[in-house]
Structure 1
Amino acid sequence: MDIDQLKYFQSVAETKSFTEAAARMNLSQPALSRSIQRLEEEFGQPFFERKPRCVELTDAGLLFQRSATQILRIVEDAKAEISDDGETGKIRVGAIPTIAPYFLPDLLRQFSDEFPRSHLIVHENTTDELLKRIKQGEIDLAILAEPITEKYVEVKPLLEEELYLLLPPQHALCEKKRIRLEDVEEESFVMLDEAHCLSENIHSFCRQRSILPVAVERANQLATVQELVSLSHGISMIPAMARRLDRSKRRVYRSFTKPRPSRTLVCVTNPYRFQSRLFREFRERLCSYARSFGEG
């Protein structure tokens, strides 16, 4: 068994296709198949179940994948540590969907301009999935929203941002400049799917004040929530960063009276992994960017 075989195995496991994996690894399909076959013969177990349109990991394959992932991460960390020049390298950044499109673009552009030999890769997913990838070493850093209850990760606050009330322009509450939470107690809400932590942020704030928002519709993207509110499907709460980029005149935003609902953005890393000079540079600029972003 060698490192290349582990990489080939991982590629097939990720793509679920020998054809796609071979193309990704710039290898002929017969050569890839022979490499996997030798690996399976060495361990005396089939790692893949060949199906008509795809391949799936067997139980033995799932066990081997965990070890293969750890070995490849160790090798990758060793290479990064040896060739740590502070200018070249790969940084894998995770972010939840209610942060990534609003917060990341300018940050990534600024960092790429300053470090043109770096390679930034963005993974957008839910909080639970990103925390899992942080612990497994599949991403280097995640930008999430509190609360973070996962153990054995490092959590650093970045900024706190207000959650605004979102209304259709003809709604009666548009006449008010400041809204009390009690004013929306009987209103119907358009919310994000429960997998998104923003929904829990809203529910948590309301529960503390003995109010439970009633969701009549759920969506997977903030842009969809905004459009549904524009069509008078209900009202909602939207983070300040999403409001900042909204140029539509078909929606109205209002602040609540104090205490205002808010969420805290955090940077989550794995303290047990090697952190290159380039990674530390990115984290430092992330914190600086977050401070200026919060003041903007």
Structure 2
Amino acid sequence: MELQQLRLFLAAAESESFTRGAERAFVSQPALSASVSKLEAEMGVKLFTRNKRNVVLTPAGRMLLKRAEVIVDECSRAKDELRRHDELRVLRLGVINTLSIHYVTRLVEQYRRENPGLVLNVTDANSLNIEKLEREERIDLALTILPHPPLSSRKFVYDKELFSEAYVVAMSQDHHLSQSPSLSINDLIKEPFISRSHCEHRRVIQELLKSRNVRLNSIYVTDQDDRALALVKAGIGIAIVPEHCRSAEIRTCPLVESKQKRSIGFMWGQSENKDEIKRFVDFASAIRWD
């Protein structure tokens, strides 16, 4: 039994015709017929019942069909793996820029250490630019907020949540509000406020302020979390940040009026790089994100 015999057998079985099977396998009809006859002679069984219109698998043929599909598929996989053995492995990752660099660093460093043959290209972006990178097919997957805003041109069709978190008020450890178990919008009105212009939660806070007809005392606007957190640590002002931004130098308190949480995880679509994507998603899913 040869691999080519199995391929021709599958072509005939799936087409239910020696003629259509030959066209599908790019061989002549007599060549396919001869191959099947030789295979039947070697096995000592009839694989097809032949008639004028088509061919039908016998019980023995149906038994061989299951095995042949597995054998041919595994041979194709082996061939592809060997062909790609010396090819450069590349994975392009987009990361939402409101995810702590501590998390990103830990993930990237560990994965690169365990996959020395992989080139892992990482691009930071806000939610809108993540969408742009996806549309332009410049990333394979995104580590971002779930669910992603729906897009008419959306190509991301899979997702995997890693963790969820609330938005909290951040302040220095010696801030006069730091011992409060929780805070309300009214507690923040007179406090110097560090505005994170790129924050996905900003619109929710703005609507909350508008509904109460109040404003925050914004003294610094930045699109960089490291600057915002440095200002908070120095006691320059307070900020509203994702819960994972807490540290030994920052005190965080829940905001009573804001119950919204965000989910962080991966989104990706159909891709020829699906094996690399799966390996990376599985690896990241095994890490503790708390």
Question: TM-score, normalising length from structure 2?
Answer: 0.59
Structure with the greater alpha carbon radius of gyration: 2
Q: Tell me the residue number matched to 1:234.
A: 237
In the alignment, which residue of structure 2 is the partner of 1:167?
Answer: 171
How do 1:97-108 and structure 2 match up within 5 A?
97-99=97-99, 101-108=101-108
1:186: Cα distance to partner?
Answer: 4.6
Q: CA RMSD in A?
A: 3.2
Amino acid at match of 2:239: S
User: Aligned equivalents of 1:241 and 1:98: distance in 2?
Assistant: 10
SS state at 2:254 partner: strand
| Closer/same/farther in 2, CA of residues 102 and 241 from structure 1, 3 Å limit | farther
**Cα distance change, pair 177–83 in 1 and its aligned pair in 2 (3 A):** farther
Equivalent AA in structure 2 for residue 174 of structure 1? S
**Cα offset, 1:181, TM superposition:** 4.0
Q: Distance in 2 between matches of 1:132 and 1:81?
A: 32
Deviations along 1:18-43, whole A, 9 cap, x unmatched?
Answer: xxxxxxxxxxxxxxxxxxxxxxxxxx
CA contact (8 A) 1:100 1:124 kept: no
4+ residue runs over 6 A deviation: none
The separation in 2 between residues aligned to 1:86 and 1:103, in whole angstroms, is: 31
Alignment gaps of 5+ in structure 1: 1-79
**1:219 and 2:222 are equivalent in the alignment:** yes
1:39-118 equivalence runs, <5 A:
83=83, 89-99=89-99, 101-118=101-118
What code does the residue aligned with 1:111 have?
A: Y
The one-letter code matched in structure 2 to 1:175 is: Q
Structure-2 change in CA distance of 1:178 and 1:109 (3 Å): same
Within 5 A, what are the aligned runs for 1:97-246?
97-99=97-99, 101-146=101-146, 147-151=148-152, 152=154, 153-154=156-157, 156=159, 157-193=161-197, 196=198, 198=199, 200-204=200-204, 207=207, 210-211=211-212, 214=216, 215-243=218-246, 246=247
Q: Distance in 2 between matches of 1:231 and 1:111?
A: 34
CA distance in 2, matches of 1:237, 1:132: 26
Give the CA deviation at 1:83.
4.5
CA offsets 1:216-255 (integer angstroms, 9 cap, x no match): 3211211211222344443111223322xx343xx42223
Tell me the CA shift for residue 258 of structure 1. 7.7
* Counterpart secondary structure, 2:177: helix
- The residue aligned with 1:284 is 282
Report what 2:51 is aligned to.
Answer: none
* Superposition deviation, residue 93 in structure 1: 0.8
Secondary structure of 2:279 counterpart: helix
SS in 1 for 2:122: strand
Cα displacement (A) at 1:106: 1.8
The AA in structure 1 aligned to 2:277 is F
The alignment's TM-score, normalised by the length of structure 1, stands at 0.58
Cα gap change, 1:206 to 1:224, in 2 (>3 Å): same
Q: Identity of paired residues, percent? A: 18
Asked if structure 2 preserves the Cα contact closer than 8 Å seen for 1:137 and 1:270, the reply is no
Aligned residues: 204
Distance in 1 between residues matched to 2:103 and 2:248, nearest whole Å:
17
SS across alignment from 2:204: helix
* 1:174-212 CA distance string (max 9 Å, x none): 23122234432454421122xx2x2x3143156358356
- Counterpart Cα distance in 1 of 2:144 and 2:215: 23
Segments of structure 2 that go 5 or more residues without pairing to the other structure are 1-79
Matched with 2:264 is: 265
